Amino acid sequence: MTNDPAILPAQGAILLVDKAEGWTSHDVVAKSRRALRTRKVGHAGTLDPMATGLLVLGAGPSTRLLTHLVGLDKTYLTTIRLGYATVTDDREGDRISTADAGAMGEVTPERISAAAAELTGDILQAPSAVSAIKVNGQRAYDRVRAGEAVELQQRPVTVHAFELGEARHGVDDTGAPVIDIDATVRCSTGTYIRALARDLGKALGVGGHLTMLRRTRVGPFDVADAVGTEALAQGGALPLLAPTSVATSLFPRLDLGAEQTIDLGNGKKLEVDPAVVPDASIAAAVGPDERLVGLVQVKRGRVRAVTNFPVETGGAP
């Protein structure tokens, strides 16, 4: 790990950022480019401006790891409001339906738990209409903002856990009855938490949407280890994760000798003991100097490079 934002290592780095509400993911990338003095910065999954929490960024050659980070499971803290639905499935959208007091009176803790259970496990989910999914070449959210009715096809996702807190009864700013519920969701990539809130409200017959969303984990990465967006904007020291430590936290480690490092860098296939790295596995190949040589795939005991990394010393790319 390095704390000098002026010197990005030759292999780049991974940066964890705790995004503040109101910032776009693009805002975070732009600030990171300035702080790290490189144009080559990408992220492993966006967050809406309303949402807060963990963004995983890659800088320099470490952007090559992002493909392998996008698919990691994620954990969210959220607050769901039952009582009305919105066009965006969150508090920023216009209201499209409101439940009456009679329907709200029938929403019991038992019914809420049963509905959440039906949304747990391997499920089919229609993404929120204001997602970035393209429909005939145009983002779904652009079509919604243009006044179109957009309904996206269901797709398989996995909700590993949908843990609900105590239901809090109240009224909204119009005097209509609402129920707020805090929840923790652990899910596969591609799961829309706004859609979970929408579908929970729909199952209960009263409508639902998100009022708060915070991403706390992406795979092994925790928001507690992230730098805040204000600190990012101010410059100064940043906690950069070396690609070797990131890759070996995700994949089996394959240590290479000096000659093997050169051979793999030149495109040659290596042989490896299947007991060290099983066949059909992705592994992190690490050179004798602890530099990440690349991600490799093992088939029948032979190693081939999937993603190579620069091994020369030097400054920022």
Active site residues: 48
Note whether 118 and 139 are within 8 A (CB): no
Note whether 91 and 186 are within 8 A (CB): no
In the chain, the amino acid numbered 279 is D
Residue 67, classed as helix, strand or coil, is helix
d(CA 193, CA 183): 10
Q: Could you tell me which residues come within 8 angstroms of residue 24 by beta carbon, excluding any fewer than 6 positions away?
A: 49
Query: Cα 288 to the chain's mean position, in Å?
Result: 32
Note whether 187 and 159 are within 8 A (CB): yes
Pick the closest to residue 121 from 69, 174, 161, 167 (CA basis): 161
d(CA 257, CA 32): 35
Query: Strands 74-82, 13-19: parallel, antiparallel or unpaired by DSSP?
Result: unpaired
In the chain, the amino acid numbered 18 is D
d(CA 311, CA 276): 23
